[in-house]
């Protein structure tokens, strides 16, 4: 599916380097927010996808932990492309959200 959802990942990428992965779990032509995608969570295919993602996260973290020079190179490239004097300013500014999630 070419569709997606929303997240705060754009804000995160303003203050830290970011990587993203996608793992196939179904071939639903309807996209990711479907009953098919929800139902696959309790199946063998869903479990295999989860295990694959866990392996990717673990092995990536292990590689970075064991290679501080790679981590430094990532930060250097990030700062070079973003600009050393960059300051993140959220669209909301300093104001609170217009509603309270806890009420």
Distance of alpha carbon 10 from alpha carbon 18, whole angstroms: 9
Distance of alpha carbon 92 from alpha carbon 103, whole angstroms: 21
Which tens digit of pLDDT belongs to each residue from 51-85? 999 999 999 999 999 999 999 999 999 999 999 89
Instruction: Check residue 50 and give its pLDDT.
Output: 87
Q: Of 16, 9, 10, 14, which Cα lies nearest the Cα of 87?
A: 14
Is-above-0.75 flag for pTM? Answer: no
H or E stretch covering 72: helix 68-82
Instruction: Give the C-alpha distances (Å, rounded to integers) separating 1 from 31, 42, 93.
Output: 5, 21, 34
């Amino acid at each position: 599916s070419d569709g997606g959802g929303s997240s705060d990942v754009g804000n995160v990428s303003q203050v830290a380097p970011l990587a993203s992965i996608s793992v196939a779990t179904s071939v639903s032509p309807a996209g990711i927010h479907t009953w098919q995608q929800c139902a696959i969570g309790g199946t063998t295919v869903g479990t295999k996808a989860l295990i694959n993602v866990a392996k990717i996260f673990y092995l990536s973290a292990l590689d970075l932990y064991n290679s501080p020079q790679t981590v430094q190179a990532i930060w250097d490239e990030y700062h070079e492309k973003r600009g050393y004097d960059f300051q993140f300013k959220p669209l909301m500014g300093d104001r609170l959200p217009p509603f309270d999630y806890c009420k």
